Amino acid sequence: MNLSINDEITMKLVHYLITKENYQPIVVAGLENEIWLENTEKPFSVIRINGNYIHNNEQLEYDIFKSKAVIKEIKKKTLSFNIDTLSILLDVGDNVNIEKAEDKHITTCSISSIKDLRNNKTINEIFPDMKEDKLDTKDPLNFFINVTKDINESTSKKSQLYEKIFSKKIPIITYVLIAINVLIYLLDVAGIIGNGLFYMSGEYFKLGQYWRVLTYAFFHGNIIHIACNMYSLYVIGSQVEQVYGKVKYILIYLISTIVAGLLSGVLNTAGSIGASGAIFGLCGAVLYFGYHYRLYLGNTLKTQLIPIILINLFIGFTLSGIDNWGHIGGLIGGMFASLIVGVEGYTETKDRVNGVIVTTILIGFLVYMLLFR
C-alpha cells in the first residue's frame, strides 16, 4: 500500500484535529478532495484541508471565493456573525503567491511536505502540540490502520455522547411539575387553598414572606392561564429534561423561578403568579444548549425558539396584565442556571464556577433591591 504525500499530510492533520482538538467533520456537498472540520470553541472555528491543485493566482482567488460561499452557509447554520477559517492548501503551483490570499476571516497556508507541516508558523502558533502527535509512517498500511482506528474511536465516543443526549426519554419531571400545578389550581378553585399567601409581591417579601419567590410559580389565575402555561411547559420542559437530565432540569427550573420572581418583585408593582417565568427560564436553557450544539440546532433556534421568545416578549410589553419582567428574569435565570449545570461535552469546571458566581451576584443584588431600596 502506497500513500501519497498529500494523503499522509491529510491523515496526520485530520487525526490530530479530531482526536486531540475535538474538531468534527462537516459534510459539504459538491466539493471533491476537500475536508471541512468544525469546532466553534477554537480560534479557528473551521479548518478546511484542500487537496485540489491550485495552479495560478486566479484559481487561488476563485478558491477563496468558493470557500466564502461555504462559510456563509455554515454561518447561517451556526448563527455566527463571523467565522475565522484556516484554509490549508496541499497542492500549490510554484507561481502561486499565497500572500495574495488576503481575507479578514480566512487565513490561507500552503503545506507540501511533512517538514512543512512540522515547521509551518501558522499551524505551530495555533496548535503547538501537533509536533507531539507522532505517528509511525514507515509502514503505510499500519499508519493507515492506526489513524483510522484512532479517528473511529474518537468519533464513536462523540456518537455515544450524542446518543445519550438526544435519545428519546420519558419526561417524568415535566409530568410531575404539570401534575403539581394542576392539583394546586384545582385546590385553589375549590377554595381549599388560596393564592393570597403565595403570590409574589415585593411588599410582602420585605415583610419576611420569602417563600413567595417560589410558591407563586405554582398558582394560576384562570383556566386559560394554566392551560397555556402547562402546554408550554410540556413542549419546552420535555426538551430541557431530555438534553440536560432530570437533576439539572430541576435546578434550572428552580433558579429560573427565583430570578423571575425577584426581578418581578423589584420592577413589577402588581403581584405575580404563574409558571411562565420558569418556562422562559427553560427557553433560556434551550438557547444556551443550542449555542453549543448550534451546528445541529441552529436552524431550529433561528426559525422556532428565538421567534417564539421575541413574540411573547413583544406581547408582554404591548398588553396589560402580563408580567413581562418576570419573563425576562426567567430567561436570564435560565441561561445563568444552564451555565451552572453545564452542557455535557462542552462546559468546563471554570464555566460552572463562573455561573455560580454571576448567579449569586444577580440574586444577591435583586434581594438587596427588594429589601433595602
Per the rule left: phi > 0, alpha: psi between -120 and 50, beta: everything else, 348 is beta
67 is catalytic: no
Q: Strands of 46-54's sheet, edge to edge?
A: 24-26, 34-38, 46-54, 85-92, 106-110
Q: Which of 67, 220, 327, 338 is catalytic?
A: 327
CB burial string 211-228: b at 16+ within 10 A, e below: ebbebbbbbbeeeebbee
Judged by DSSP in three states, 163 sits in helix
Under a CB-based contact definition with an 8 Å cutoff, are residues 181 and 218 in contact?
A: yes
292 is catalytic: no
d(CA 92, CA 53) in angstroms, rounded, equals 6
Q: Which of 264, 276, 292, 338 is catalytic?
A: 276
Would you say the C-alpha torsion 39, 40, 43, 45 has a positive or negative sign? positive
Judged by DSSP in three states, 109 sits in strand
DSSP string, 27-91: --TT--SEEEEE-TTSSSSEEEEEEEEE-SHHHHHHHHHHHHHHHHHHHHHHT-S---EEEEEEE
Q: Among all residues, which ones are annotated catalytic?
A: 276, 327
